[in-house]
Structure 1
Amino acid sequence: MRALVCEAFGPVENLKVREWQLPALKPHEVRLEVHAAGVNFPDGLMVQGKYQVKPELPFVAGGECAGIIREVGDAVKGFRVGDRVIAMPGLAAFAEAVNVDHKLLMPMPEQLDFAQAAGFCITYATSYYAFKQRAQLKPGETLVVLGAAGGVGVTAIQLGKLMGARVIACASSDEKLAFCRDLGADETINYSSEDLKERIRALTDGKGADVIYDPVGGAFTEQAYRSIAWGGRYLVIGFAAGDIPSLPLNLPLLKAGDILGIYWGGWASRDPKGNMQNFAELLGYVNEGRLQPLTTAVYPLEDFSQAFAAINARKALGKVVLTMGEAAT
């Protein structure tokens, strides 16, 4: 089978689409024919050797995918050959097939296509964990989303609205902000042309934001934190800008504000039952028609460099997904 292989840590462009041999199927695993796989910012860091997890070389990256079960191990329960599923293998999803522990599978809702399902796990799980377990977002609160048009930003808008928040979407262009308004954002801020701190204050009548969701980092972090409400919660999602910011600690002191780290993967491994409960709730929202997973940038496996470039250059509107040739149809 074909896979996107990292043979040495380095630029994404050095990855190779080549033949890859899967190990023998273990009793608790299924062999999944991958139709589509979600691409996330940490995937690019991992192949460069810059992520907190460093796999043994060579390896196939990709933490989430969707496809059809083609083989099941003897100890697998609840799944059978032919089932359409969403999978969270953690690694090896950028391939035409992958072996996955059956505990890391979820039934794929009928109303989703493979591209939508492939990009469902990591971004929606991250945002839901951030809002539910960490920030305890309440109806009527004001939520500010930085990098709002990107893969996780989109999920923050959708889930923030679903949970009853007033959402202020922040992005770097009018095109991105129009996209955010179409998703349901109540207000928007162009932080390339507007003063982020002052606009947040103006849009909240001076009160500030109850919750700030930041996957960007860089120069906007301190500006945003200076606009936080008394007792507000600042969610550290990631650093798409490339720079890890420093924050004067007198600011959370003066605002009685929290700074909350959002490491969904670490939490999920420590509380698998809580994680699966979150997924059950998210899939319930999908089945009820209250949540529509959004995938806007779909590339064939061979165009992987374009897919990563869309994320790294912060040009993608919504989720980026790789499809596996004929299997993607």
Structure 2
Amino acid sequence: MKKVISFNKIGGPEVLEFQDIEEPKELKADEVLYEVKAFALNRSDWLLSAGLHYTIPNLPSRIGSEASGVVKALGSSVTKFKIGDKVSSIPFFTTEYLVHGEIAVTPEKYLVHCPENLNFIESTSIWMQYMTAYYPFVKIAKIKKNDVVLIGAASSSASLAAIDIVKSLNGLVIAATRSEKKIDKLKEYGADEVINTQTENLSDRINNITNEQGIRAVYDPIGNPFYQQYLDVLQSNSLVFHFGLLSGESIKIDISRHVRTNSYLLPYSLFNYIREENSINEGIEYIKENISKNIFKPKINKVFSFGESIKAYEYLMEYDVFGKIVVEIKN
């Protein structure tokens, strides 16, 4: 028997539990079974168990979208991997292939070889955040030199990766945070300017920083009231990528203010951009290249043991998390 993390009712970390399951004896043609060595936590995992994610869980349900480990068995049509390979999962839209536990099964399409210069803990800490930031800035907005991008909740793993992506395109980053003590660290991680939204007027500071030229794009995992604070400093043809509700308050779209600035709001999800193989492979190659050059690096906040998995999810809910939370499994 193998232990996995699962939930039988909707709720927060308190509904999570260890469950014993049988190791699969048969795989579908495109499936890969692997022994998990580490898995990473994302707020979207918690939203799934809380019933707040656009993916609706089928109860009882496993949890988790990112894991790394060693291949144990292959479906009949799998060609990219062999038994013993070190692999990591790419998060995608699914209620079936959830991965937090001692074993996981993932379709070949959503599995990659671990980068040679990263260990299991690091390898499971890159794909959700870097892939999420890749499509808005590289493929959609096509950020270029000196374009100014506002990144909300800047100390989250998703936003830290966004800083790296924008800087790789020679853009300029304004990072927003509610914590004075995070400012120096965000600058160390590449932000050109940091605004404390608790003590400073966001739009006034942006006008000051940009000489009233405004911002080219916004990476918004927060919702209101953050959304309302930057609407008047958007450039013409600017893009707002809205992909989260950290505030717990949905955006009420202000059509008039978008019309005045000729700006656009895109309800964004990584999952909509990795359905096609060509699209997912473009993202993977861009990230792997920058990982291999040490331009992109995992930013890990804390590592828990497998027995502390529920505690890791409780820690995920804390305000001061800066980077990725990982659980290591020492089989």
Task: State the TM bucket, normalised to the shorter chain.
Answer: over 0.9
Q: Name the SS of the counterpart of 2:45 in structure 1.
A: helix
Identity of paired residues, percent?
Answer: 24
Counterpart of 1:51? 53
Letter in 2 for 1:286: I
Please point out which of 127, 130, 134 is paired with 2:133: 127
Letter in 2 for 1:133: K
CA contact (8 A) 1:222 1:247 kept: no
Are 2:268 and 1:262 equivalent residues in the alignment?
yes
Q: Name the SS of the counterpart of 1:42 in structure 2.
A: helix
Counterpart of 1:290? 295
CA contact (8 A) 1:150 1:314 kept: no
TM-score by length of structure 1 reads 0.94
Separation in structure 2 between the aligned mates of residue 183 and residue 6 of structure 1, nearest angstrom: 36
Counterpart of 1:14? 15
Are 2:71 and 1:65 equivalent residues in the alignment?
no
CA displacement 1:166-188 (0-9 Å, x = unmatched): 11111011222222111011111
Worse overlay, 31-40 or 130-139: 130-139
Counterpart of 1:220? 226
Q: Write out aligned runs for 1:225-240 (5 A).
A: 225-240=231-246
Q: Write out aligned runs for 1:1-329 (5 A).
A: 1-23=2-24, 24-88=26-90, 90=92, 91-269=97-275, 271-324=276-329, 326-327=330-331
CA displacement 1:55-113 (0-9 Å, x = unmatched): 22112111111111122233221211111111136532111111122222111111112
Unmatched 5+ stretches in structure 1: none
CA contact (8 A) 1:149 1:177 kept: no
CA contact (8 A) 2:302 2:325 kept: yes
Output the aligned Cα RMSD.
Answer: 1.6
Unmatched 5+ stretches in structure 2: none
CA displacement 1:103-158 (0-9 Å, x = unmatched): 22111111112122112111110101111222221221011111011111101111
CA contact (8 A) 2:91 2:127 kept: no
Separation in structure 2 between the aligned mates of residue 291 and residue 162 of structure 1, nearest angstrom: 9
Q: Name the SS of the counterpart of 1:201 in structure 2.
A: helix
Deviation at 1:209, TM superposition (A): 1.1
Deviation at 1:294, TM superposition (A): 1.8
Letter in 2 for 1:10: G
**Against the structure 1 CA distance between its residues 315 and 304, is the aligned structure 2 distance closer, same or farther, given a 3 Å change threshold?**
farther
CA displacement 1:289-325 (0-9 Å, x = unmatched): 222122222222333344333433332101222222x
Q: Name the SS of the counterpart of 2:112 in structure 1.
A: strand
> Following TM superposition, where does structure 1 have runs of at least 4 consecutive aligned residues deviating by more than 4 angstroms?
none
